[in-house]
Amino acid sequence: MTGPSPDQAIVAGIRFPTEVALERDEAGWTLVMRRPLRHSPEQVWRMLTEPDRLARWSPIVPDRSLAEVGPASCRENPGDEPIDAEVLVADAPSLLVHRWGTALMRWTVTAVEEGTVLELRQTCDDRTVASSSAAGWRTCFGTLAATFDGVERERVIGPRALDYGWQALHERYEREFAGRQG
């Protein structure tokens, strides 16, 4: 372990069923993840677009709100080198499309009777990146789900994710995606 015992609310969030798929088309690979949340689309939208809320669960922490189209700069941690980003579509509270470095991120927020379904479609330069991204986002989605309760929780990124089962998730997605050719 690299830190204190894992937060059990985050662990439960990570274990919660999440649909994960890898799609191939003429442009390359797209990681697709769908996760139900028991919160309103407006609440989820704020977690996707407001820097102070993103800093609670996501590796994407922008220098401005992502609720408006235009360029931005992101850092995972305050001292890190910035990563170029650009919001291409911001249709609150249902669709956010932005670049994050070379990846294109498409977030769809769909209202359902029990709350919301959050879908992420992330382009990947090659198939080998997809399993790492899937494990990372699965960990982040678990943190996101736990963060809604108002309790101050740690942001599970970098080496700390190992304490939350990132390696096992990575290996699982490597096996699941291994048959995909590219």
The pLDDT-based confidence of 93 (bands split at 50, 70, 90) is: very high
Given this model, what pLDDT does residue 182 score?
54
Q: Which fold has domain 8-177?
A: Alpha-D-Glucose-1,6-Bisphosphate; Chain A, domain 4 (3.30.530)
Given this model, what pLDDT does residue 149 score?
84
The pLDDT-based confidence of 92 (bands split at 50, 70, 90) is: very high
* Domain edges within the chain: 8-177
Q: Helices 8-15 and 127-147, interaxial angle, to 10°?
A: 130
Eight-class DSSP state of 49: H
Element (H, E) at 56: none
Which one, of 87, 102, 92, 83, lies nearest residue 47 by Cα? 92
The pLDDT-based confidence of 160 (bands split at 50, 70, 90) is: very high
pTM, two decimals, is: 0.94
Written as six digits, the tokens of 77 are: 């941690």
Residue 115: partners with Cβ closer than 8 Å, 6 or more residues away: 36, 37, 38, 39, 40
Residue 18: partners with Cβ closer than 8 Å, 6 or more residues away: 33, 34, 35, 138, 141
Which one, of 39, 21, 53, lies nearest residue 120 by Cα? 21
Model confidence at 30: pLDDT above 80: yes
Mean pLDDT of the chain: 93
Given this model, what pLDDT does residue 65 score?
98
Work out the average pLDDT over 57-85: 94
The pLDDT-based confidence of 180 (bands split at 50, 70, 90) is: low
Given this model, what pLDDT does residue 2 score?
61
